[in-house]
Amino acid sequence: MEIYIDENLSEYVADALNSLNKGYFKDIIVYSTKIKLGKGQPDEIIIPFIGSNNGVLITKDLNIHKTRFQYQLCKEYKIGIFFLKMQKGMDKHWEIVKLLINSWEDIFDIISKERKPFGYEIPVRGKMKKI
């Protein structure tokens, strides 16, 4: 399974998650969209690419599911998306890493069991919510 970390998150997060996965989640490879596709690619390019690779996206961009065209692309290309819902002032690199690490097993469970397309919101506090 391929997971893509949106460029609004650091490419180093993808590297770190790959290192941590080696002993536990061997079937998951994490990529940065910035490294894989190039910096500044629009969602209209990213979404079909991820879909064609049967992948999942992790992003802070909550507007994807609110923008009709992008939402339709997600459905058409059958991708799963996890939206990180960061509180103001808590969207620094380290806060993002902590949130992903704390949610990683749940993310893996959802990816393993749920049929795409799907979307989940991951809040800093509380449980993941299907959207």
Which pLDDT score, from 0 to 100, does residue 36 have? Answer: 94
Split the chain (131 residues) into runs of 10 and give each run's mean pLDDT.
Answer: 91 89 86 94 93 94 75 91 83 83 94 94 91 88
Q: Which pLDDT value is given to residue 52? A: 95
Helix, strand, or coil (residue 84):
strand
Cut 0.85: pTM above it: yes
The structural domains of the chain, ordered by start, are 2-130 (3.40.50)
Predicted pLDDT at 91: 65
Q: Are strands 56-59 and 29-32 parallel, antiparallel or unpaired?
A: unpaired
Report d(CA 104, CA 109) in Å as an integer: 9
Q: Which residue has the tokens 């103001």?
A: 88
